[in-house]
Amino acid sequence: MAEARAMLRLGHGLRARDTVLRVQSLALENLLSTAGDRDALRRFVDQQIGPLLEADTAKQSQLTRTLATLLECGGNKAAAAERLHLRRQSLYYRLEQISRLIEVDLDDPAELTTLAVALRAHRMLGAQ
C-alpha cells in the first residue's frame, strides 16, 4: 500500500493526463525519486539537455518539445514531423540544431535513451 500511495503522489505531482496509470509507466520516475540526490539529478539534466532548455527560453524555440516528440515516436522522424505538424525538412533542421547544441548523435539508440531519461527527470524536477 505504501508503494501504491507513493506512486499515486508521483503521478499527481507529474500531473499525469491519464486517469488510470500503470505502475510501469512511472517506473523510471520512481527510480529517480528514490535516488534521493536532487542536486545530482539537476546536474544530470543540465549536462544532458541544459543547452536546449536555455535555447528554448532565450529564443522561444521548440527544441525540447521536438526532442521529446521524437522520443515519444521511438525515433521515427516521419511520425515526429507529423505529430509536430512540420514538414520533414523543418524537423531535420530542428534536429540538426539539437544535435549541435548538445553534441549528440540522434541516430544512436544509447544517446536517445540518455536523453529520454534526462527529459523525464526534467519533468519530474519541475513537478516537485
Q: Where do the H-state alpha helices sit in the chain?
A: 2-13, 27-35, 38-59, 63-72, 77-84, 88-102, 109-127
| Tens-level pLDDT at each residue, the chain (128 residues) | 555 555 555 555 545 555 555 555 566 666 666 666 788 888 888 999 999 999 999 998 899 999 999 999 999 999 999 999 999 999 999 999 999 999 999 999 999 999 998 998 888 887 54
Residue in the structure block whose three cell numbers are 529564443: 59
Model pTM?
0.75
Each domain of the chain, given as residue ranges in start order, spans: 36-127
